[in-house]
Structure 1
């Protein structure tokens, strides 16, 4: 009879240090492979599929506090930026000897600097929205733009072209009303300021106003609508409240308040119906750039910022502009099969 031999590791014997040295065994007595560590959570959650634009924040990470914290971040820090630039403007105006007791002094004596600081303060809200989408709600940045995950540049350009045509028709309607009612040229009556005054103001308008208008769309028709969509599926409470906030942050009174509220409400509607901000941005940019360029031609680049009481006649042209834009863009989106769901 052979003497039993001691088996070493790997030969079916007991491993050095006892049975536990090999870890858990499978059903055949073979050491089982160690369990793989759990993968870390993804940095962002994908948006839910098949949802309209205002519900894209309803991701797996969606919690009640995320849209609340994000809204405080966007509006609060945006107000800080705007206030800070306003203080800088006030200091420069005081040092320049501007009569600060005159409420219109900044618009008449420092129009270009007033326009720059105001437009820049509003434009800075755009990166705030994108930061909040990415790092507070933890979803793709592009979901703030459209259901396809980014801006559809061709579609936005087409909407801007429609907006330009609608604005020109609106101007023609206003001008025809003033002439037929015996009021002369009305709001279009102005003195040419000359190229030396117009060109610097036009450059500021063309560079900053598109970002200012786009930032307002990302805040009011983008962030706020999707923040409300985090809590409820219907878009109407978010549409009404965001439009009221949009109206309150403008300085218009009387018919001007009505116009701004309806303008915001219609842009919410076209955003939901077209699945993104492109149409709203296109119209808003064209509308603002056109108004500021007219003011710059008269040497009054900051006059559109000096808002106040507005008669219904002044709202006639913009109202026609908005109706034409909606009447053309919504059927055009359907004809071109513009995606309205993620």
Structure 2
């Protein structure tokens, strides 16, 4: 018969030398480690579902949306008040709705673009501190902005925009309208260079901020409640359209533009393609207006004819036709 052997603590037996003494009186009890500051995004999910973390609750997207809307409105209205005060002291006739665009175009552009651009850090703050997930998950499924991919998309957008300008110009000539919107009275370098500097510096942030709000935050906020991306894409495009001043065919164009940006965001797993197209489109339009000495004219939106859809429509079609296969060929990640 085998003799029993002494078992160690790992074997469930009494440790050599007898049982361990109890902890000294008053010793602190074991404390569970605090929860992580942020939750990791769920693995294997598309971009619009990245807000479905362990901390996801119904109120987080709501509170985050109210925060972005409220503080963003304060920024925009505050800068608008500054513009109004400066205009009043400068003797601008504020009863004329066109006065700011014609008499103070550069300052109008600066305050408008800056007010919109400031919503970008608000989105990142809400993602990090309201939804408690990595701020980079607002950019893409990779958890960051994929700069190389965005630069490539911007290059495609530039080519598509130049082709669209050619289409618009050709239509204007064939329809007997002359050069149309391309009939530019050169404003001179003294007027163009300051405006171009402002456009190149501020407009990319303004366009990127709109993408983070509409194709980023809003689509992921809907994704926190439902798995299909299309309600978020439709609602974000409608809100995007409503915040522009266009009417008639212009409204249809802005809605279609927003919907295409939502589609390419879903298909490429991030905001890079949408930002690239939006930045190039806006910068090109503002530079063309600045060359004619009408720096703020793109902000003076209103009723437009159906012809406005021709060139930009071609721009969208070319961009999607090139970028989507390119993303597949380059194995751009579409899931976390």
TM-score normalized by the length of structure 1: 0.91
Offset of 1:173 from its aligned partner?
A: 0.3
Within a 5 Å distance, the mapping from 1:295-334 to structure 2 comes to 295-334=289-328
Match of 1:222 in 2: 216
Match of 1:161 among 128, 148, 155: 155
Match of 1:280 among 247, 251, 274: 274
Match of 1:30 among 20, 24, 31: 20
Within a 5 Å distance, the mapping from 1:71-86 to structure 2 comes to 71-86=65-80
Match of 2:63 in 1: 69
Match of 2:48 in 1: 54
Deviations 1:33-72 (A, max 9, x none): 6864211100000000000000000000000000000000
Instruction: Provide the secondary structure at the position in 1 that maps to 2:260.
Output: helix
Gaps of 5+ in 2: 1-13
Distance (Å, rounded) in 1 between the aligned partners of 2:176 and 2:20: 100
Match of 1:90 in 2: 84
Aligned length: 318
Offset of 1:227 from its aligned partner?
A: 0.4
Q: Does 1:185 align with 2:183?
A: no
Deviations 1:108-160 (A, max 9, x none): 00000000000000000000000000000000010000000000000000000
Match of 2:127 in 1: 133
Gaps of 5+ in 1: 1-25
Cα root mean square deviation, aligned: 1.3
Match of 1:260 in 2: 254
Runs of 4+ off more than 6 Å: none
Match of 2:239 in 1: 245
Instruction: Provide the secondary structure at the position in 1 that maps to 2:38.
Output: coil
Match of 1:15 in 2: none
Offset of 1:29 from its aligned partner?
A: 2.4
Within a 5 Å distance, the mapping from 1:98-137 to structure 2 comes to 98-137=92-131
Deviations 1:175-217 (A, max 9, x none): 0000011110011112000000000000000000000000000
Deviations 1:209-257 (A, max 9, x none): 0000000000000000000000000001111111000000000000000
Offset of 1:31 from its aligned partner?
A: 2.5
Distance (Å, rounded) in 1 between the aligned partners of 2:311 and 2:66: 36
Instruction: Provide the secondary structure at the position in 2 that maps to 1:171.
Output: helix
TM-score normalized by the length of structure 2: 0.93
Moved more, 299-308 or 72-81: 72-81
Match of 1:149 in 2: 143
Instruction: Provide the secondary structure at the position in 2 that maps to 1:291.
Output: helix
Q: 1:32 to 1:152 in 2, by over 3 A?
A: farther
Distance (Å, rounded) in 2 between the aligned partners of 1:316 and 1:39: 60
Distance (Å, rounded) in 1 between the aligned partners of 2:308 and 2:194: 27
